Chains A and B, each alone.
Chain A
Amino acid sequence: FFSLHSLIPPVPYRPCFIPPPLPAPHTTHLQGINLEFRTMDLMMEASNPKGYLSTPGPDRNGEHMMGTTIMAVEFKGGVVVGADSRTSTGSYVANRVSDKLSKVHDRIYCLRSGSAADTQAVADMVAYYLDMHSVEVDTPPAVKTAANLFKMITYNNKDRLLASIICAGWDAKNGGQVYSIPLGGSIVRQPFAVGGSGSTYIFGHCDSEYKKGMEQKECEAFVSKAIAHAMSRDGSSGGVIRLAIITENGVERKYIPGDKLPFMKDE
């Protein structure tokens, strides 16, 4: 499955393993300013040498990127996750109805941003390992386990991947949980997380609208309104809003079409 030339697999630490000296801090986070989205945008621009093509058109040399807006919120009985549906190649919309909510296990989903190829591959790998693991322990896997698998792959292969992922779900031990695994491969648990290029437009909105102890319906409204705002301003986000509500009882998927977005003030 992992050939000599491909990625380093997520192997658990062994007792005799001596971690190497920490490398220089990853330059995406510079003096407290989060440049993550800029790195993605720069990557997108780097793949077409003139940032604004004087003869415009689809970026045939660039890989599919998901300039995107993704979001996950924890509530008492589970999590609400949401994303837009635009996959762009340069400024061409390659897929206007993509599904960025990927199931890695029955009650664990991941939200993908960055390179479409990288994130699809990593999510497939995590799904494979989780499947194995859940058979070995004979219980559904913990969300923390899934999140750490993401971390192991993205951290150990940080020089080769452009993947920024939010892993969220429900498990019996700790209920609803949201974990953010950004570009460098760090893992952070948060009550709610936003990601992707569109997230920069809604940090303020989310910080002011978020309340502790929201119910499921309130969380749904919070997520869809925030994503709608981000789609309204970010050129790399758009299309429809896909929501998934993950609880003990299962996963409910919702679809908000592009002409029925929650707020549409006079633009």
Chain B
Amino acid sequence: PPTPNLPRSAARPGHSSGEMMMMGHGHEAKENPRTQTTQPIVTGASVLAITYADGVMMISDTLASYGSMARYKSVQRIGKVNDGAIVGASGEFSDFQYIKDLLEDLTDEDFDTADGRELSPKEIHSYLSRVMYNRRTKVNPLYNQLVVGGFDTSKGESYLGCVDMYGSTFKDDIVATGYGMYLALPLLRKGHDKKMNEEAARKLLEKCMTVLFYRDCRTINKYNIAKVTGSGVEISKPYSLKTEWGFKRFVDPHSSE
């Protein structure tokens, strides 16, 4: 996909765009090295996903932080691509919105072609990994860690993988981004079973998100959970989980008992 070209006057305010348009594209890198995304501003925290008996389940919280501030508290960081796949993202939120637009264009193409086939989750994963690696090579990355999950109806199998901002890809039954890599992965690995039912998968993911809410400063207690199965994609409305604060030593750290 073509990298969006900002009007030249945006990079050099004070110059009229009429003048700028006369210059060739070769001058771009020399004069205005693009520094669009060297640091993320509005960021999302962890996304966790696992495969289970019916397909793939993914969970994330609904916060987009502005540095240490919990600025946007009702944001959806898991998006539907088509009836067989979903993508979740952590990192820069604007880059995730851009990626969702790219995927929407792809899905629209599929719709227009009208050949009865839509992109499989594996193909979406591959496409995203090319996009991320391409941006990395141009030293203008999309500052995200993406989780691609889906159910390939033609093969009747779940698919789960991740791509990061460098273009590194992994395909696995358990995927986590951000702090989830450190705190949730070990818990997910311990409790995961490919044949677990929906209830068990949900409980496991929720347990891990609660741990992340306790231990990651950039989270809130409000989540979206999504599942992809043979019957399609379902992304839940936001909901909260119970948290535990009643231990004796919590209430009175100085107690001698």
Q: How far is the CA of A141 from the CA of B158 in the complex (A)?
A: 70
Assess the A67–B242 pair: CB atoms within 8 A: no
Assess the A234–B68 pair: CB atoms within 8 A: yes
Assess the A235–B70 pair: CB atoms within 8 A: yes
A-B Cβ contacts below 8 A, count:
81
Q: What's the least CB distance linking B71 to chain A, in Å?
A: 8
Q: What's the least CB distance linking B243 to chain A, in Å?
A: 5
Which residues of chain A have C-beta atoms less than 8 A from B39's C-beta? Answer: 51-52
Contact string against A for B residues 159-190, beta-carbon threshold 8 Å, 1 for contact and 0 otherwise: 00000010000000000001101100000000
Which residues of chain A have C-beta atoms less than 8 A from B69's C-beta? Answer: 201, 233-235
Q: What's the least CB distance linking B135 to chain A, in Å?
A: 14
Q: What's the least CB distance linking B127 to chain A, in Å?
A: 23
A88 and chain B: residue at smallest CB distance: B217
Q: How far is the CA of A267 from the CA of B218 in the complex (A)?
A: 15
Q: How far is the CA of A114 from the CA of B247 in the complex (A)?
A: 27
B253 and chain A: residue at smallest CB distance: A99
- From A123-131, A174-182, A254-262, give the one contacting chain B: A254-262
Assess the A97–B217 pair: CB atoms within 8 A: no
Contact string against B for A residues 77-97, beta-carbon threshold 8 Å, 1 for contact and 0 otherwise: 000000000101001110011
B179 and chain A: residue at smallest CB distance: A56
Assess the A236–B68 pair: CB atoms within 8 A: yes
Q: How far is the CA of A86 from the CA of B43 in the complex (A)?
A: 21
Is A108 positioned at the interface, with any CB of B under 8 Å from its CB?
A: no
> Of A93, A99, A259, which contacts B243 at CB under 8 A?
A259
Cβ < 8 Å to A, chain B residues 60-84: 62, 65, 67-71, 73-74
Q: How far is the CA of A267 from the CA of B240 in the complex (A)?
A: 10
Assess the B216–A267 pair: CB atoms within 8 A: no
A253 and chain B: residue at smallest CB distance: B252
Assess the B74–A259 pair: CB atoms within 8 A: no
Assess the B215–A97 pair: CB atoms within 8 A: no
Assess the A267–B74 pair: CB atoms within 8 A: yes
Which residues of chain B have C-beta atoms less than 8 A from A253's C-beta? Answer: 252
Assess the B67–A41 pair: CB atoms within 8 A: yes
Assess the B73–A267 pair: CB atoms within 8 A: yes
Is A197 positioned at the interface, with any CB of B under 8 Å from its CB?
A: yes
Given contacts A57-B179, A93-B214, A93-B217, contact A41 B68 (CB under 8 A): yes
Assess the A233–B70 pair: CB atoms within 8 A: yes
> Of B179, B222, B243, which contacts A91 at CB under 8 A?
B179
Is A3 positioned at the interface, with any CB of B under 8 Å from its CB?
A: no
Q: What's the least CB distance linking B219 to chain A, in Å?
A: 8
Assess the A92–B216 pair: CB atoms within 8 A: yes
Assess the A257–B68 pair: CB atoms within 8 A: no
Q: What's the least CB distance linking B244 to chain A, in Å?
A: 8
Assess the B43–A235 pair: CB atoms within 8 A: no
- In the complex, how many residues of chain A place their beta carbon closer than 8 angstroms to a beta carbon of chain B? 33
> Of A51, A97, A197, which contacts B245 at CB under 8 A?
A97
Which residues of chain B have C-beta atoms less than 8 A from A238's C-beta? Answer: 217
Q: What's the least CB distance linking A67 to chain B, in Å?
A: 6
B141 and chain A: residue at smallest CB distance: A54
Assess the A96–B68 pair: CB atoms within 8 A: no
Assess the A93–B216 pair: CB atoms within 8 A: yes
Which residues of chain A have C-beta atoms less than 8 A from B217's C-beta? Answer: 67, 86, 88, 91-93, 235-236, 238
Q: How far is the CA of A51 from the CA of B43 in the complex (A)?
A: 12
Q: How far is the CA of A257 from the CA of B251 in the complex (A)?
A: 8
Is A28 positioned at the interface, with any CB of B under 8 Å from its CB?
A: no
Given contacts A51-B39, A56-B178, A258-B243, contact A91 B214 (CB under 8 A): no
Assess the B214–A96 pair: CB atoms within 8 A: yes
> Of A54, A97, A197, which contacts B253 at CB under 8 A?
A97
Q: How far is the CA of A51 from the CA of B65 in the complex (A)?
A: 14
Assess the A267–B245 pair: CB atoms within 8 A: no
| Extra 7 A-B pairs, beta carbons < 8 Å, given A56-B179, A234-B70 | A51-B39, A91-B218, A96-B215, A232-B70, A233-B71, A235-B65, A239-B245
> Residues of B with Cβ closer than 8 Å to A?
39-40, 43, 62, 65, 67-71, 73-74, 165, 178-179, 181-182, 214-218, 220, 222, 242-243, 245-247, 249-254
> Residues of A with Cβ closer than 8 Å to B?
41, 51-52, 54, 56-58, 67, 86, 88, 91-93, 96-99, 197, 201, 232-236, 238-240, 253, 255, 257-259, 267
Interface pairs (22), CB distance under 8 Å: A51-B67, A52-B39, A52-B40, A56-B178, A56-B179, A56-B182, A58-B182, A93-B214, A96-B214, A99-B253, A234-B68, A235-B65, A235-B67, A236-B68, A239-B245, A253-B252, A255-B250, A255-B251, A267-B62, A267-B73, A267-B220, A267-B222
Interchain residue pairs A-B with the least CB separation, the first 6: A257-B245, A267-B73, A235-B68, A97-B250, A91-B217, A235-B217
